Amino acid sequence: MAKILIVDDDKSIRRTLKDILEFEKYEVEEAEDGLTCIVKVKQEKYDVIILDIKMPKMDGMDAIDRLQDLCPDVPVIMISGHGDIDTAVEAVKKGAFDFLSKPPDLNRLLITVRNALDKSTLIVQKKNLQTKVRKSKVTEIVGSSSEINIIKETIEKVAPTDARVLIQGQNGTGKELVARWLHERSARKDGPMVEVNCAAIPSELIESELFGHEKGSFTSAHKQRIGKFELANKGTLFLDEIGDMSLSAQAKVLRVLQENRIMRVGGEKQINVDVRVVAATNKDLRREIAKGNFREDLFHRLAVIILRVPSLNERKSDIPQLVEHFNEKICKEYGTSPKKIDAAALKELQQINWTGNIRELRNVVERLIILSTDKITKKDVTDFAVSLSNRRNNLQELFDKFDSFADLRTYLEKEYERYKAVVA
């Protein structure tokens, strides 16, 4: 049975509304002013609140502000005998579901209550679905080595707080997964987790991406854009590869972390944001600070807690577990049964130098699943390891011929032009 709270200083109005709603089989409680309403909401859970505007102690406009903090998902229907268009607009802006004038038309009141309850039900269903989707998306942290156990224990301690975390580690070690678990174990888990790859966004666009922009603020700004900080409000913002962010963008991120406010590019209005920032990098930021590529004050803002994710070569005892995990996951994606894997094959995989870390291991397991017969053997791994080693050696020989990346690029461009000429 849906539970409705009627808040009005007029006892006769409360009694009339209560009789009507109880006749419709709703459970109804009363409050004579906004202050009593807040007390009741803290003690009980309601599906809909009917709130008068003009009341002693705390009026409806002040009460709805408090309700938006206490129970933002509960629909609030505002009623008033002194209502006009401006009052109705202000009430809706503050988050009211609807606005009714006194005395309310009873048919409209009942329809509005039913619609509000439908909205409340949809919100609950949405949250349940989001929880299921989130649980299915967040992969477990596989491994039982001492190195990975330290990561898991630190996440359990740090996640419930709002402390900023800097995740360090080589490419492919699983920094993004650690960030997802920090969000999943936090009080913000029902809020959004927004990810930004700082290395993938051109430096001239990073500020627009993070803070948004107003229409017409630059040539291609044809409409207003909401930035990642706003999108992550009440949730977590994951800044991946923060070491590749430009110095100008770093200065603005530092200011946001200090003031918890942003300003869109081309805008004049300060916007409050409540965001937990988790950053990740594969670079040594202290070395980047010494080079003048990273701000030291931003580093100290971000690195309240530093989590170093070990490379796969540092946790080779986890490889059998990781292989079994990828075997089950990949075969499930292909719609086949997991492949059997020889113990000798697992030992052989532990001998490989995994420069690409977990990402490389997953690709190798997928390749072995595709190319092997009914079972993955030591020979399958050995054949692949030899070809992998040969490719690495060939690449290393090529790199050793040149003093810089620019020289290598020039060589490759010439080779490409020569190849085109031969084909033509």
Per-residue pLDDT reduced to its tens digit, 80-116: 876 667 777 777 877 888 888 887 788 888 998 988 8
Indicate whether 177 and 33 sit together in one domain.
no
Q: Are residues 319 and 225 in the same domain?
A: no
- Give the phi and the psi of residue 348 in degrees, each rounded to 5: -65, -40
Domain boundary among 310, 327, 355: 310
At which residue do the structure tokens 């010439």 appear? 414
**Residue 411 falls inside a structural domain:** no
> Helix, strand, or coil here: 212?
strand
Residues 162 and 234 in one domain: yes
Residue 83 shares a structural domain with residue 215? no
Is residue 309's pLDDT more than 70? Answer: yes
72 with 94: CB under 8 angstroms?
no
Same domain membership, residue 213 and residue 144: yes
Task: Read off the CATH number of the domain in which 323 is found.
Answer: 1.10.8.60
How many domains are contained in the chain? 3
Q: Checking DSSP bridges between strand 48-52 and strand 76-80, what pairing results, if any?
A: parallel
Burial bucket for residue 271 (CB in 10 Å: 0-12, 13-18, 19+): middle
Average pLDDT, the chain: 86
Q: Looking at the domain assignment, is residue 253 inside a domain?
A: yes
Tell me whether residue 197 is exposed, middle or buried, using C-beta atoms within 10 angstroms of its C-beta: 0 to 12, 13 to 18, 19 or more: middle
Of the listed ranges 213-222, 259-268, 310-319, 349-358, the one predicted with least confidence: 213-222
Indicate whether 418 belongs to any domain: no
pLDDT band at 325 (very low <50, low <70, confident <90, very high): very high
Q: Is residue 33 part of a domain?
A: yes
Residues 360, 213 share a domain? no
One domain, residues 149 and 127: no
- Looking up residue 177, the CATH number of its domain turns out to be 3.40.50.300
In this structure, the answer to whether residues 195 and 295 fall within a common structural domain is: yes
Higher pLDDT, 149 or 90: 149
For residue 417, tell me if it sits in a domain: no
pLDDT in tens, 47-67: 899 988 888 888 888 888 888
Task: Give me the phi and psi of 20, to 5 degrees please.
Answer: -65, -45
Task: Write out the residue range of the structural domain in which residue 224 sits.
Answer: 139-310
Nearest of 105, 84, 106, 88 to residue 97 by alpha carbon: 88
Quick one: pLDDT at residue 225?
83
pLDDT of res. 79: 87
Whether 63 and 156 map to the same domain: the answer is no
* Residues 257, 290 within the same domain: yes
Tell me, yes or no, whether 238 lies in a domain. yes
Domain CATH for 101: 3.40.50.2300
Residue 361's identity, in one-letter code, is L
- Looking at the structure, do residues 117 and 182 belong to the same domain, yes or no? no
Evaluate if residue 126 carries a pLDDT over 80.
Answer: no
pLDDT for residue 397: 61
**Alpha helices (H) along 44-75:** 60-70
Q: Based on the fold, state whether residues 230 and 83 are members of the same structural domain.
A: no
